Amino acid sequence: MPQIHPTAIIEPGAEIAATASIGPYCHIGAKVALGHGVELLSHVVVAGRTSIGEGTRIFPFASIGHWPQDLKYQGEDSSLVIGRRNTIREYVTINPGTAGGGMVTRIGDDCLFMANAHVGHDCILGNHIIMANSVPLAGHVVVGDYAAFGGLAAVHQFVRIGQHAYVGGLTGVERDVIPFGLVMGDRARLAGLNMVGLQRRGFSREDIQALRGAYQMLFEDANGTLAERVAAVAARYPEAEPVRDLVDFMRADNARGFVQPKLNGA
Tell me how far apart the alpha carbons of residues 124 and 97 are, in angstroms, rounded to a whole number. 10
176 is catalytic: no
122 is catalytic: yes
Candidate list 70, 122, 145, 176, residue with the active-site label: 122
Query: Is residue 232 classed as helix, strand or coil in its secondary structure?
Result: helix
Candidate list 118, 121, 140, 164, residue with the active-site label: 121
Cβ–Cβ under 8 Å, residues 76 and 70: no
Candidate list 35, 83, 139, 197, residue with the active-site label: 139
150 is catalytic: no
Helices (H), the chain: 195-200, 205-215, 226-236, 241-251
Task: Name the residue among 79, 81, 86 with its Cα closest to residue 109.
Answer: 86
Give how far the C-alpha of residue 200 lies from the chain's centroid of Cα atoms, to the nearest Å: 19
Tell me how far apart the alpha carbons of residues 14 and 226 are, in angstroms, rounded to a whole number. 51
DSSP 123-134: -EE-SS-EE-TT
Active site residues: 121-122, 139
